[in-house]
Amino acid sequence: MAFRCGVIPTKYPSGGAKQLTQILTGKQVPHGGRSSDIGVLMQNVGTAYAVKRAVIDGEPLTERVVTLTGEAVTRPGNVWARLGTPVRHLLNDAGFCPSAEPMVIMGGPLMGFTLPWLDVPVVKITNCLLAPSASEMGEPQEEKGCIRCSACADACPADLLPQQLYWFSKGQQHDKATAHNLADCIECGACAWVCPSNIPLVQYFRQEKAEIAAIRQEEQRAAEAKARFEARQARLEREKAARAERHKKPPFSLPPKIRRRLAPPWPGYGINSAMPRSRS
| Secondary structure class of 96 (helix, strand, coil) | strand
Name the residue among 175, 168, 178 with its Cα closest to residue 204: 168
Q: Is 152 annotated as a binding residue?
A: yes
CB of 99 within 8 A of CB of 132?
A: no
Distance in angstroms (rounded) separating the CA atoms of residues 264 and 261: 8
Determine whether the annotation assigns residue 97 to a binding site. no
Q: Give the pairing type, strands 63-69 and 128-130.
A: parallel
The answer to whether 188 is a known ligand-binding residue is yes
* Contact yes or no for 29/35 (Cβ under 8 A): yes
128 labeled part of a ligand binding site: no
H or E element in which residue 278 lies: helix 269-279
Distance CA 205, CA 170 (A): 9
Does the annotation flag 149 for ligand binding?
yes
**C-alpha separations of 134 from 3, 112, 151, 152, 242 in Å:** 44, 17, 28, 27, 77
> Do the beta carbons of residue 27 and residue 38 sit within 8 Å?
yes
Dihedral sign, Cα of residue 31, residue 32, residue 35, residue 36: negative
Binding residue per annotation — 5?
no
Q: Which contiguous run of DSSP H or E holds residue 49? A: helix 45-55
The binding site comprises 146, 149, 152, 156, 185, 188, 191, 195
The binding site for [4Fe-4S] cluster comprises 146, 149, 152, 156, 185, 188, 191, 195
